[in-house]
Amino acid sequence: MSAARPIRPLDAAGLVLIRERGRGPEVLVGRRHSRVPFLPDIYVFPGGRVDSADSAASGFPEPLHRAVETDLSAGSRRPGATFARTAIRETFEETGLLFGAEGSRAPASPSAPIWQAFAGDGRAPAFGALDFICRAITPTYSKRRYNTRFFLADGDLAHGELGGSGELLDLGWRSLDELRTLGLVDVTQFVMREALRRWTAGLKPGCEPSRLFCYKGEIARCRNGPGSAWAVPEEGF
């Protein structure tokens, strides 16, 4: 009998928000509910799978950096902006925070609840502030698989009171010392390390291509871009 074919990973997107405070960088994370089938009780960044509604334009300006949009679209049939909409929407649904800025003109009739929330708050989503830092693909043996695009952005552009849908519990802005006590899984550590590296260096969106994190069998591996050599991810951050 032939081996079962691996499940095709679902497209998803996540957002790493970092802000500077007196104790140094703080990163927004929450704990997944114990009843979810994928990574229960694990601390993660806000994010989730791409929905069909994410394919529709928000009605707001969506000025992704050209390099970011090109990188996002590589190897995907979806336009790059689709993943950015997903990350912004999921962040709002899971945390209650609107990632945007005041002063931009709202569309006449926003197409979905997320964009209606922006219009009602007098803000516009900050597409241009998003940097695409890495893509992560879950192992072939997983029962649930995701092909997730992770973005990095300034946490000071996230507005509102932490709350959300309840999918993420114990939401909070945590220092690096606090994050190291949470038992983050390998992919989250990889994304965290890459996000902090870019944040510390002050890199603007589009300055560097995204990295790739995936598995060969049960062994995690990463590379800097198409054609580059594979390496074993470092541990910690």
Task: Give CA–CA dist 10/90, Å, rounded.
Answer: 15
Tell the residue number behind the tokens 């095709």, with chain if given.
8
What residue spans define the domains of the chain? 10-223
CATH superfamily of 10-223: Nucleoside Triphosphate Pyrophosphohydrolase (3.90.79.10)
pLDDT for position 140: 87
Q: At 15, is the pLDDT very low, low, confident or very high (cuts 50, 70, 90)?
A: very high
CB 111 within 8 A of CB 92: no
153-195 pLDDT, tens digit per residue, is 999 999 999 998 888 999 999 999 999 999 999 999 999 999 9
**Tell me, what's the pLDDT at 2?**
47
DSSP-derived pairing of the beta strands 146-154 and 158-159: unpaired
The alpha carbons of the chain give a radius of gyration, in whole angstroms, of 17
Mean pLDDT (whole number) for 21-43: 86
Bridge pairing between strands 24-32 and 10-21:
antiparallel
If we measure between CA atoms, which residue out of 136, 134, 142 comes closest to residue 39? 142
- Among 226, 203, 188, smallest CA distance to 130 is for 203
At residue 70, the 3 state secondary structure works out as helix
- Identify the helix (H) or strand (E) that includes residue 63: none
| Of residues 83, 165, 69, the one with CA closest to residue 117 | 165
Q: Give the pLDDT confidence of 99-149 residue by residue, as tens digits.
A: 999 876 767 677 789 999 999 899 999 999 999 999 999 998 888 899 999
Give the pLDDT score at 34: 74
Q: Which two tokens stand for residue 58?
A: 């928000």
